[in-house]
Amino acid sequence: MSKFNFKKTSIEGVYIIEPTVFGDERGYFMETYHAQEFKKAGLDFTFIQDNQSKSKKGVLRGLHFQYTKPQGKLVRVIKGEVFDVALDLRENSPTYKKWEGVILSEENKKQFYVPEGFAHGFLVLSDEAEFTYKCTNFYDADDEGGILWNDPEIGINWPVDNIEIILSPKDRQWKTLKESKIIF
């Protein structure tokens, strides 16, 4: 029996991953990553950096990517709830400019794999959220880029009803995909 349910999405390489959770009156246990299980599912890569962030409701982080040192990311929420998005920036991909979104929460324990060549972002839906991610490449501030979170050409359906969006100064200044002329 697999310890994970790997759900393919409409975009090649993007997966929603549901771990098997073992719970009883004491609490629960689950594996969040197992190299052999992931490899059997076709997800064969090496993670070299782990990150964690804490954000309050309405914080929108993204859409981020790295130009020459792209990162694959395995993301999950350990407290709260977010809407997480992967945007395909691979110009020769049949799903170029398409996005996939999923609710990640401490309750549903889902994970999301965002491959290299994608922009990534999330919106905090709960009062606060703690977000973790494993990366296939190191973060490099000099290589970082971004896409405007509400680029009308991309049309991400962010669940923003009754949420005041909070952006960092960096995330406020990103341009649209067309203006950015990004090529992977």
Catalytic machinery residues: 64, 133
**Region at 142 (left for phi over 0; alpha for psi -120 to 50; beta for the rest):** alpha
- Determine the Cα–Cα distance for residues 182 and 89; give it in Å rounded to an integer: 7
Give buried/exposed letters for 44-81 (b at 16+ CB in 10 A, else e): ebebeeeeeeebebbbbbbbbbbeeebbbbbbbbeebb
Q: Which residues contact 160 (CB under 8 A, 6 or more apart)?
A: 123
Q: Which residues contact 135 (CB under 8 A, 6 or more apart)?
A: 47, 48, 49, 50, 51, 71, 72, 73
